[in-house]
A and B are shown apart, each in its own frame.
Chain A
Amino acid sequence: MDKAIRKNILKKYSLNIVLLLLGFILIQSLIVTGVLNSYAKQMIILVFINMILTLSLNMATGFLGELCLGHAGFMAIGAYTAAIFTKNMPMLPPGLAFFIGILLGMIMSGVFGFLIGVPAFRLEGDYLAIITLAFGQIISIFIRSLPFTGGALGLSGIKRMTNFPWVYGAFVFTLVFIICLMFSGHGRAILSVREDSIAASSSGVNVVKYKVITFVFSAMLAGLAGALYAHFQGNLVPTKFDYNYSIDIMVMVVFGGMGSMTGSILAAIILTLVPALLQGLAQYRMLLYALMLILMMIFRPDGVFGRKELTYDWIRQTYRKIRGRWKEDA
């Protein structure tokens, strides 16, 4: 039995593993050989951090179907927790301190996710949007006034540990975690709650439990992105994590398609790179952004991908279709 299982795993996942490795080798070799300049390197890291953020928000909003408007707040908790830890642990080897800092940041974000999720989901009705909105504001006020967060001036002198291998590793972890969770009985339970919570509960799904669990995971992954961001930027200012940033992340998820991981990843890439490339047109940025969203709402209200994913099956079918059409023409 277990032998068959092992064979099954290899067959199912070998292609994915190879692709993920190739992606890493490709980008890393471009960096090491100096093809990419330091600006490009920074953009890549930022893109990966945003991909982790969109994937995590997509979990709460796309898969669970709950509107969360305070995602930057969870990111802030992860960022500050990890940064304060690494700053106070100079005796540890930097890599180890960073790793522990990330874990602590994720745990702390998860704790806050739990504290918010339990009351929000036990109430009947959609309170999460309002509660998370308030939470995002409160967190940034707290950060500004607490003694150990550097106040409004911010926290500086954080060791710049986040490089490409770290963000790539974190991204792969996030992706694999979400995929393995969603393609399981637990994932089906999460989706069933989104689809019809009354039917889910009369099919035996503990709706409140799955809402809280998913929300906590979502918060933890936002904390992961925050911890990486802190050690990428080297300093943290509370204004970074305000309402606008939460909305930015939400826009990415909506743009890609709520409930599509492919969409979240693609949207994070496009909506991080395009504004950066349009830096010269900074005053038109918001205009272009708004225009794009309006066009989106008109032509693809469910986002670029809707709830679809780019899968091998999809590629295979499309390839066959195209080849078939090609043969007909010939």
Chain B
Amino acid sequence: MALLEVKNLSIFFQGLKAVHDVSFEIAEGEIVGMIGPNGAGKTTIFNLLTNVYEPTEGEIFVEGKSTLGQPAYKMVDMGLARTFQNIRLFKDMSVIDNVKVGFHHKGRYSIAEAVFRLPPYWREEQLYEERAEEILDIFGMGDMANLPARNLPYGAQRKLEICRAIASGPKLLLLDEPACGMNASETQELMDTIRLVKDRFHTSVLLIEHDMNLVMGICERLIVLNYGQVLAQGDPEEVRNNPEVIRAYLGSEGDPNALGC
């Protein structure tokens, strides 16, 4: 059984078919890239996967369970965590507290236990502290733990978003243009980190990028979107040589790499 199964997913915004009849699967342990020009519907698919939007048609299954009707905050319980194309951090909270929010859904101690500082509070908080430090260290951000998130440089903010997502212990990590705004060496480092994340935390990764070359190195499989539909999917070589993909990328829209993110 696939980890993620997307079946005939569609969403229409006032007649605009932002996502139209999209189906794909992701197996456990895979790193899959989702590419396509700006406006192709990639971010909208993430919003559908995390139940921020309700699909007009179609259904999503995580480990065989339908996600239909689940509130957005329950999606982490089902094993999905994400980052955002326009970074969304808790800017006035410390870096380590940002990560700790990722543990929230596993939190067991009650408000009363917190207020009276009973043993469950201490035990859990100590565990969170250790685990959060561990995650930050893996991303090379251990020395930034107590800074307010807003003071981080851009690249570190992107990484912190991934840390927070990892903290929730996802089976599938959804990354929306994580390399956006990074230079070549930062991007290379990020790709290495993503591979590390996959091995260390045993998560599958679905990675949005509109730069095709970038994902070639890291993804085992690619899904190409255009105008809300799947244009092609398969291993990177196959996709690269697919004439329709070449046309979409080199067609009237010009070079997609020239577009901002």
A interface vs B, CB < 8 Å?
1-2, 5, 8-9, 177, 180-181, 184-189, 191-192, 195-196, 198-207, 213, 259, 307
Contact = CB atoms under 8 A, between A and B. Distances in A.
16 contacts: A180-B114, A184-B109, A184-B114, A185-B103, A186-B111, A188-B104, A195-B90, A196-B91, A200-B73, A202-B50, A202-B81, A204-B77, A204-B105, A204-B168, A205-B101, A206-B71
Interface in B88-128: 88-93, 97, 100-105, 107, 109, 111, 114-117, 119, 121-125, 128
Interface centre among A8, A180, A184, A185 (most CB of B within 10 A): A185
Given A5-B122, A199-B84, A203-B164, A188 B97 contact: yes
Contact of A189 (B71, B101, B128): B101
A185 B125 contact: yes
B104 A8 contact: no
A147 to B, nearest CB: 37
B contact residues, range: 35 or more
A201 B90 contact: no
Given A185-B109, A201-B72, A202-B72, A5 B119 contact: yes
A194 B204 CA distance: 30
A276 B71 CA distance: 51
B82 interface: yes
Nearest to A13: B117
Contacts of B121: 184
Contacts of B90: 191-192, 195-196, 199-200
Contacts of B116: 180
Contacts of B50: 202
B78 to A, nearest CB: 10
Interface of B: 50, 52, 71-77, 81-82, 84, 88-93, 97, 100-105, 107, 109, 111, 114-117, 119, 121-125, 128, 164-165, 168
By secondary structure, the A interface counts as: helix
A208 to B, nearest CB: 9
A189 B81 CA distance: 17
Contacts of A177: 115
Contacts of A1: 119, 123
Nearest to B128: A185
Kindly name the residue among A8, A195, A196 whose own CB sees the greatest number of chain B CB atoms within 10 A.
Answer: A195
Contacts of B52: 198, 202
A207 B128 CA distance: 21
A201 B114 contact: no
A199 B52 CA distance: 11
B115 A180 contact: yes
A192 B121 CA distance: 19
Nearest to A313: B146
